[in-house]
A and B are shown apart, each in its own frame.
Chain A
């Protein structure tokens, strides 16, 4: 019994599912944000596992780009949260419905 590629894939599937459940049940925008980071990380783990087990470097380079995109997303997303909070005094997504028609 040793860990193979499928152990890593199963672990990242579990982490991804936890992230999705978090997005479904939580209402705080910043927590939703952290759940999205968790999902990005689980996909990164999948890419890294494939890269190691197949001996191909492309997966690791892709993880690098995903991290860059996550950093950009965090900066812009948190700026949006701050300006929303300034206008509505809340970060609860049930009360933020200005885009609803």
Chain B
């Protein structure tokens, strides 16, 4: 249990640190690489929750496909550094940030100190057998067959839309 606790705090703190560094970083490429680190930490948290399949597709889909696409676009557009944060933040933006921080403090207070009922202190004993590729495939092709097929339609629409939007006009 203690190893899991140490790993939870390690992954959690690195995830929060890379996320903060991502929004404070001015260079977009470094920002994207920090987000990749964040996704690896979340994959580690999935492993701590005994969900092997999600951990693998987190790395394959997010860091392998989506972030490569993002980095490719950043390099294609050849973006420079942004203006310094403090020079361009305005009054309404700082009000918004203050509201978000207040809401976060409220949520963390309620979750950590008020909502803790003593239940759900350990992972469900069957969780390990629910996270395998076999179990998820079984669920996807029986109970969730219709949403699964609709997802494939969505991906098709996304491919066609991306090609139409990004191609140059042909005269």
Chain B, 34-53, CB within 8 A of any chain A CB: 35, 38-39, 42, 45-46, 49-51, 53
Contact across chains for A52 and B136 when beta carbons are under 8 A apart: no
Contacts of A74 in B (CB 8 A): 66, 69-70
Least CB distance, A90 to chain B, in whole angstroms: 10
Interface size class of A (residues with CB under 8 A): 35 or more
Least CB distance, A70 to chain B, in whole angstroms: 7
A96 interface residue (CB < 8 Å to B): no
Contact across chains for B120 and A34 when beta carbons are under 8 A apart: no
Do most interface residues of chain B lie in helix, strand or loop, or is the interface mixed? helix
Least CB distance, A35 to chain B, in whole angstroms: 7
Contact across chains for B155 and A72 when beta carbons are under 8 A apart: yes
A-B contacts counted at CB < 8 A amount to: 225
How far apart sit A54 and B135, CA to CA, in the bound complex (Å)?
16
Contact across chains for A3 and B4 when beta carbons are under 8 A apart: yes
How far apart sit A8 and B82, CA to CA, in the bound complex (Å)?
33
Chain B residues with a Cβ closer than 8 Å to the other chain, count: 85
Do most interface residues of chain A lie in helix, strand or loop, or is the interface mixed? helix
Contact across chains for A71 and B53 when beta carbons are under 8 A apart: no
A101 interface residue (CB < 8 Å to B): no
How far apart sit A38 and B23, CA to CA, in the bound complex (Å)?
11
Chain A, 1-57, CB within 8 A of any chain B CB: 1-11, 13-15, 17-22, 24-28, 30-31, 33-35, 37-38, 41, 44-45, 48-49, 51-57
Instruction: Report the 5 A-B pairs with minimum CB-CB distance, sorted nearest first.
Output: A55-B124, A72-B158, A22-B23, A79-B165, A17-B104
